[in-house]
Structures are given as structure tokens and as C-alpha cells.
A and B are shown apart, each in its own frame.
Chain A
Amino acid sequence: MGFSSTVYNAIFKRTSTMALAVIVSAFAFERTFDLVTDSIFEKVNEGKLWKHIKDKYETEE
């Protein structure tokens, strides 16, 4: 049995596991996608964002 039919039988065949797979993969995709795009933005704007200058002004915490 090939990889795709294993996946099909394990996940896509039943609606319940299919729905679960959709939810879990959406969550995982969103998390990694946000992480990647945010770090691109921070790389492009290195030194300009509040995040990069705030330690100069924060006292305690």
C-alpha cells in the first residue's frame, strides 16, 4: 500500500477524522505562516520597530 492510500484510509475516508485533520492542519499552518511572515517583517525593519528599541526605556519588569 502506497503512502497516499495509507493517508486516505487513515484520515480522509471518515468525515470525523477528515474534519479533525482540517482543523489541526489549519491551526498548524496559521501558526507557522504567521511566525515566518512576522520574522520576515522584523528582519526587513531591523532596528526600527518598538520591539527593537523598547529595552532602552523599560525600567523594571
Chain B
Amino acid sequence: MAATVGRICGVGLLKPNNLTTIGQISSYSTAKEWTRGKKALLGTLGIVAGGAGAVLVALDQSVKASDLELHPPKNIWSHSGIFSSLDHASVRRGFEVYKQVCAACHSLRFVAYRNLVGVTHTEAEAKAEAEEQMIEDGPNDEGNMFKRPGKLSDYFPSPYPNEEAARAANNGSYPPDLSYITAARHGAEDYIFALLTGYCDPPAGVVLREGQYYNPYFPGGAISMAQALYNETIEYNDGTPASASQLAKDVSTFLKWTAEPEHDDRKKMLIKVLGIFSFLLGITWYIKKVKFASLKSRKIEFRPKK
């Protein structure tokens, strides 16, 4: 690269010239050899392509505006800041909500009891949580599956054995697995919160079928999940008043954690990265100064041979 530039510009690079190199570069442009017709053709092509792009963007915008879906408002979560960790007390309450309410319909297949240890529960507590559940295991010596109390290494049991059973029990709709739900929905935890607290009467003209409920945040508005959270639906162990919005906030935070268990480490890592890189930036700046000190105070003399 440097050699090519050198060949094109020659000794020009050594002279303290301003802007003349730009003139030289333009002398390598092929555009001035084009005929008028060619220039006109290319010009029109450019305008047509740009115009088509602008029309497409405009069309796309108008499609968004005509959507029937209500976008969830952005909430200020205690983990919203760039260095802010999850509120683990809230994650723990959210687990209580999931276990006592959502687990009746939704699986959480990718979370194991051991994952709770050191995040929301002590090891003894997580063991006790696991032992409350009967987990299918096997086959045993006779080839039969059997049930046993859960262990730390077990994943959360699902309420239905398969998707068909789940659909049959829920009016044909499948309650999705909640492990990665905040990552799988636009608006993430804001959407979950808005969905859980956003139930209302359907506006005039909206017809709901048997077993459907109206929720403006759900795409299309008609959702097959009934409102699950009301004031005092459950009672919190830590005595926090269990209003519907508190329950929704805590379960949303819990689902944020299940989808991004690395959340806290990631933010801690950001602090480390910023620290290390500002240190390296300082060194780089210093070395640049040192190296350029001699280069910049140097004089180059050009003596043509006589």
C-alpha cells in the first residue's frame, strides 16, 4: 500500500505541500473520460435508486404506525444503569411468583435448582426447593420410569409432558417456556411487565373468541392467557406488600435473570474493561509521544545530484 502511494505521488510526499496531492489523485479519476450520455445515465440511476430507497423507508414507517399493537413503556429498573446489577431480593421474590403462579402453565426447562445457589437462595434452601418437586427419573432395573424427590442438579419440572398436552389444556394456545422469554420478546422485561399488568376490557368492535382475553400489549390484542396477577395473589416470605404491580415487577426481574444469568458479571466486567483500556490508552499515548519526539524534530534535506 505505502509503496503504491509512493509510486503514484513520488517525491511529492516529501514536499511540504497543501492539497496538491488531492489534485494529483483526481488526475487518476476515470470519470472525466466518460461521455455526457454516460454521466447523465449514471446520474439518473443514482437519483432513482435513492428515491426508491426513501420510498421504501417511508412505506415501512407507515406500516409501523398502522400496527394494532401497543408498545410497552420503558420503565426505570433498578438494573437499568450501565453498572447496575440485578436486585437479588427482587429476583428471589420473582422466583416465588413463578413457582406459585406461572409454573402452573409455563415451563422453565433451562433453569436448574443449582442455578439458584448464590443468586437467590442458599445451598440448603435450593436443596429444599428441589426436594419439594417429584422428578421423573429412570429407567430402573425393571425398565420402568419412576418418580423421586428433586436434586440440586435437576432442571425445573414442566407442568405438561409435551406441547400437545399444553395446547390441549390451554384452549389450543401454547404457553411458551419462560427461560429466555425476555430475550425473545421486543421490549424484554418492560414487555413482560406491561403484559402482566395491562389487561383491560376490549374496546368496542374487538371480538374475542371463547377463552381469549384482551391485552393491548399482546400483538393482535387477543391473548389466551388470563390475567394471572392480582393484588395479594400470593404472599411474600419477606413481607413485601404483594400488589399486582410488585408481583409483576419481581417476576419480570426474575425472568430477566433466567434469560441473562451472566448479567451481573457482564456489568462488573465493563468496569474492568474500562479500567484496563484507559490504562492501555495512557501507555499508547505516551509511547506515541516518545517515538514521535525524534521523528517530528528531524529535518529532511533533499539534495539533487549535480
A residues sitting closer than 8 Å to B (CB atoms) are 33-34, 36-38, 40-41, 44-45, 48-50, 52-54, 56-59
Contacts and interface: CB of A to CB of B under 8 A. Distances in A.
A39 B217 CA distance: 40
Contacts of A50: 88, 118-120
B271 A37 contact: yes
Contact of B87 (A34, A37, A48, A59): A48
A49 B268 contact: no
Contact of A33 (B118, B122, B272): B272
A41 B124 contact: no
A38 B87 contact: no
Given A57-B121, A57-B125, 8 more contacts: A37-B275, A40-B83, A40-B271, A41-B267, A44-B85, A48-B87, A53-B88, A59-B122
B86 interface: yes
A48 B125 contact: no
A45 B84 contact: yes
A41 B119 CA distance: 16
6 pairs of A and B residues whose beta carbons are closest in the complex: A45-B85, A41-B268, A48-B87, A50-B88, A37-B271, A37-B272
A59 B118 CA distance: 14
Contacts of B264: 49
Interface of B: 78, 81, 83-89, 92, 118-122, 124-125, 238, 264, 267-268, 271-272, 275-276
Nearest to A36: B275
B268 A37 contact: yes
B78 A48 contact: yes
B122 A57 contact: yes
B88 A48 contact: yes
A4 B164 CA distance: 76
Contacts of B275: 33, 36-37
Given A44-B83, A48-B85, A58 B122 contact: yes
A60 to B, nearest CB: 9
Nearest to A50: B88
A12 B53 CA distance: 62
Contacts of B271: 37, 40-41
Contacts of B87: 48
Contacts of A40: 83, 271
Contacts of B84: 44-45, 48
